[in-house]
Amino acid sequence: MDASALLRSKIKAARKRGAWWVSAFDVIRLVKTSDGRARLWTRLVHGEAVHQTTPDTWADRYPQLFDLAAQLVPDAKRILSFGCSTGEELLALRRRFPQAEIVGAEINSRSRRIAIGKVIHDPAIEVVPPRSVEGSFDAVFALAVLQREPVKMAEMAVEDLTPFYPFARFDKAVGELVTRLRPGGLLCVMHAQYPVEASRAARALEPVDDSPLMEQPIFGADGRRAPDAIARTLFLKI
């Protein structure tokens, strides 16, 4: 085993037993890069408004999901990408919805600047902080947003997610997104750690029958692992 693999193994084991020095190591590692500093600043300034702290993404990340969404609401006039990160999702949505107005909401100021640079020549795409989102939408996407550091949670073998990402924060966010949806509008939630079905807003939603399922681990409203939970990704507002 080489030195880097040995270090990763030791860090993973230390996370699992909750060693204090791992948190210090994480902070030091983040401070070394502009991306890391932006992540730390976002958590410090925005506190409980933050969901996922990692801005990682890539081009056309969910092609099948985007294609299915375009079939379900082909005439969507206004679309919200909640947690649009550095803008790749906005470009993927534009290819499926060429006539729509698209709003990207991103809390990380560095990611937001990068996203703006990628869509600056498209006047029908706007990138704003989440608090500046206004109006209603025909489709809302929250992809790999309503969660907290899943890789780290897996390394720590977390059984109760509450101390890291409480269900109440997820529930509030889903409720706010559903409020933004027009009747018949589409909600798409992928890579969340709680099921939309457990949210209070679920009563206003109808699951799409052939909706892809989210992968485990899924946690229940009590924060505990729910290995038998079924979490769908696509819902229509009743």
What does the mean pLDDT of the chain come to? 91
Q: What is the pLDDT of residue 7?
A: 67
Q: Supply the DSSP symbol for 49.
A: G
Q: In terms of domains, do 193 and 121 share one? A: yes
Beta carbons within 10 angstroms of residue 223's beta carbon:
20
Please tell me which residue, 155 or 72, carries the higher pLDDT value.
72
Render pLDDT for 35-91 as a digit per residue (tens, 0 to 9): 878 776 777 777 778 898 888 888 899 999 999 999 999 999 999 999 999 999 999
Residue 182, domain extent:
63-237
User: Can you tell me the distance from the alpha carbon of 212 to that of 203, in angstroms, rounded to the nearest whole number?
Assistant: 20
User: pLDDT digits over 123-151, tens only?
Assistant: 999 999 999 999 999 999 999 999 999 98
Structure-block tokens of residue 144: 């790999």
Residue listed under structure tokens 């939309």: 196
pLDDT single digits (tens) 94-105: 999 999 999 999
Are both 124 and 191 inside the same structural domain? yes
Both 146 and 195 in one domain: the answer is: yes
- 57 lies in some domain: no
Residue 107: predicted pLDDT: 96
Same domain, 29 and 128: no
Residue 117 located in a structural domain: yes
Identify the three-state secondary structure at position 98: coil
Strands 205-207 and 234-237: antiparallel
Distance from C-alpha of 145 to C-alpha of 237, rounded to nearest angstrom: 20
**CATH of residue 94:** 3.40.50.150
Contact 141, 80 (CB under 8 A): yes
Answer whether 157's CB lies under 8 Å from 16's CB: yes
| Confidence at residue 16, expressed as pLDDT on a 0 to 100 scale | 65
**Does 207 reside within a domain?**
yes
**135 and 42 share one domain:** no
76 and 40 housed in the same domain: no
In a domain, 28, yes or no: yes
In the chain, pLDDT over 90 holds for what percent of residues? 71
Name 234's bridge partners: 188
Reported confidence tier of residue 234, pLDDT bands at 50, 70, 90: very high
32 and 110 in a single domain? The answer is no
Model pLDDT, residue 23: 72
Residue 20 predicted with pLDDT over 70 = no
Residues 134 and 169 in one domain: yes
Indicate whether 84 and 139 sit together in one domain: yes
Assess if residue 58 is contained within a domain.
no
Q: What is the mean pLDDT of residues 209-227?
A: 94
**C-alpha pair distances (Å), 169 with each of 49, 202, 204, 232:** 8, 15, 19, 19
Domain count within the chain: 2
Instruction: Please indicate, yes or no, whether residues 119 and 141 belong to a single structural domain of this protein.
Output: yes
